[in-house]
Amino acid sequence: MSFPTSTLDSPVIAAGSMLSDGLTSDSLRSIALQLVEAVPPRRVQGLGDDDLLDVAGAIEHLGRYVDALRVEAAAEISERSLVVCRAEGLAARKGCRNAAELIERVTRVSGATAVRRIKLGQHTRTDLAEPGMPRAPRFQYVADALETGLIGVDAASAIVAGIRPALHRGTVEGIRAAEEELVAAAIGTSDLVPTACTADEVRQQAMVWQAYLDPDGMEPVERRAWNARGFEAGTLSGGLVRGRFALMPEVAAKLNRLFDAYLSPRVTTEFRTAEEQAEVDAEADPRTRDQQRHDVVAAMVDHYSRSDEPPTIGGAAPTVLVTVRDTDLEANHGRGHIDGAKSDVSMTTIRHLACSGGLQFVSIDAYGSIHGLGSPQRCFTSAQRRAIIARDGGCTIPGCSIPAAWCEIHHVDPAENNGPTHTDNGVLLCWFHHRTIETSGWQIKMIGGAPHIKPPPWISHSASWRPATKSPTMLIDAVEKRMLRC
């Protein structure tokens, strides 16, 4: 395979040739010093846009020469550490457990980086079968492109990782064609791509080649995945229950589609002028993407637990029990205990749970005996919930896409004000907006039994109270009334 001639500036090519002439620590330090002198700190800040991009490309090209040497050195260290008698290996003689640790100590890179360099180097290094008898690398095209600085470690690793699973199943011709085509795609000389591919694009193409070379290769992978699937309940750490999950791809795909559906970028403009909108576009949602996914899962769990589908526990629907002293509840100070996570929770969380799930007073005397049991309070009935869903149509906060069925019901007039559990005092809020309604700045009040909303000052300082509904029928009715006024 022939590679294109580099079009980068001569200093980069000269540095690359210096790296390939004679390798000594002194010569490499000399090159580094020349680079420091040629490119003083913060020099790129004064470049124009096009010059900045050109320089960034040239820097990356130079870095690829260095990366190739890093990979080659790592593979050689690994090879010298894997001798017949392990105690005589290079790593052992230097007091390290293995080659990766030795590379970590010498270079101060992470263990993951050291292992990646070793793995790539093992597939691209030229071995000596016998003294003076070189043996070609397992991935010759990748090795050549890496050595000449035409591809970097990311693209090279993607090609090797994509083709390697098919080495013992595909034909020799097919493996060679796949490697050549993927290298060409990474360089930009392939007829199948309009320009040089990024490492992520190369990785995607490598998966296509893998499927072509080994169409049945996923069967054993999926069998192993099936046995390894799981969802860890997690343990409490730092106020969060941390766990792990391993989802089958089709389950993850369905979950991701739900995230896509409810986390699509939507920014409400009904309360904002053009100037105000420009100011808050970047602040439409302060949550990170992971936090948004968490809140979608919270809404999904809450919705499912309220439905008729979950099995009962002891004849009752699954219920999270939170206990708190009545004196702490009255004083709005202290903490409670949630049994589902075996964790203490703040009074803010208790108020949130009581608002959406209700409460029941249980009196326990000093000897631990129950001597009083009140009726459940502040729980909206199923009929009330259906009525509120029909009226509100979804989370009351504008721009929120969480559906009505997943929302909780918030008491607009809270318990401390003796607010009733009535449809005229309940509005739909998603888990996140319910949890933050006291701090977000959004204001809600009921006017004639209908919820009205006022945005926080960071959206508009002059906004007035507006009716808040996302019910399609209610919106159509409002449009008809406006048309009649016209």
Q: What is the arrangement of strands in the sheet containing 322-323, beginning at the earlier edge strand?
A: 322-323, 335-338, 343-346
* CA dist., res. 32 & res. 35, Å (int): 5
* CA dist., res. 476 & res. 486, Å (int): 15
Is residue 289 predicted with pLDDT exceeding 50? Answer: yes
Cβ-contact 11, 34 below 8 angstroms: no
Tell the residue number behind the tokens 């969802």, with chain if given.
Answer: 231
* Segment 133-151, tens digit of pLDDT: 677 888 999 999 999 999 9
Is residue 74 predicted with pLDDT exceeding 90? Answer: yes
The secondary structure of the chain in percent helix, strand, coil, rounded to multiples of 5, reads 50, 10, 35
Q: Average pLDDT in the 257-281 region?
A: 54
**If DSSP codes are grouped into helix, strand and coil, which group holds residue 365?**
coil
Cβ contacts of 208 within 8 Å, gap of 6 or more: none
Supply angle C-alpha 120, 121, 126, rounded to 5. 135
Q: Mind giving me the DSSP string for 42-86?
A: TGGGGS-HHHHHHHHHHHHHHHHHHHHHHHHHHHHHHHHH--SSG
* Segment 183-198, tens digit of pLDDT: 999 998 888 777 888 9
Cβ contacts of 113 within 8 Å, gap of 6 or more: none
Q: Average pLDDT in the 322-337 region?
A: 74
Higher confidence at residue 163 or residue 1?
Answer: 163
Cβ-contact 480, 473 below 8 angstroms: no
Q: Give the dihedral of Cα atoms 420, 423, 428, 431; nearest 10 deg.
A: 40
Cβ contacts of 410 within 8 Å, gap of 6 or more: 355, 356, 426, 427, 428, 429, 434, 437, 444
Token pair belonging to 5: 């001639």
Q: Mean pLDDT for the chain?
A: 77
Question: Tell me, what's the pLDDT at 154?
Answer: 93
Question: Of 225, 231, 232, nearest to 248 (Cα)?
Answer: 225
Q: Is 352 exposed, middle or buried (0-12, 13-18, 19+ CB in 10 A)?
A: buried
Question: Of 308, 306, 268, nearest to 431 (Cα)?
Answer: 306
Question: Of 454, 467, 465, 455, nearest to 283 (Cα)?
Answer: 455
Cβ contacts of 474 within 8 Å, gap of 6 or more: 391, 393
Q: How far is CA 252 from the centre of its chain?
A: 13
Question: Tell me, what's the pLDDT at 463?
Answer: 79
Q: Average pLDDT in the 310-327 region?
A: 66
Largest CA distance in the chain: 96
Q: Where are the domains of the chain?
A: 10-218, 382-402+423-485
Q: Mind giving me the DSSP string for 220-268?
A: HHHHHHHHH-EE---EEETTEEE--EE--HHHHHHHHHHHHHHSS----
* Segment 375-409, tens digit of pLDDT: 555 678 888 888 998 888 888 888 787 888 888 88
Q: Position 312: which residue type?
A: T
* CA dist., res. 351 & res. 335, Å (int): 11
Question: Tell me, what's the pLDDT at 121?
Answer: 92
Cβ-contact 336, 347 below 8 angstroms: yes
* CA dist., res. 37 & res. 77, Å (int): 31
Token pair belonging to 429: 């809020």
Q: Average pLDDT in the 445-459 region?
A: 87
Is residue 267 predicted with pLDDT exceeding 60? Answer: no
Query: How many residues does the structure list for the chain?
Result: 486
Question: Tell me, what's the pLDDT at 146?
Answer: 92
Which whole-number Å values give the CA distances from 192 to 2, 143, 152, 154, in the listed order? 17, 22, 20, 20
Percent of the chain at pLDDT exceeding 90? 16
Q: Give the dihedral of Cα atoms 324, 325, 326, 328; nearest 10 deg.
A: -90
Question: Tell me, what's the pLDDT at 95?
Answer: 86
* CA dist., res. 378 & res. 360, Å (int): 9
* CA dist., res. 267 & res. 282, Å (int): 10
Q: Which sign does the torsion angle of CA 181, 187, 189, 195 carry?
A: positive
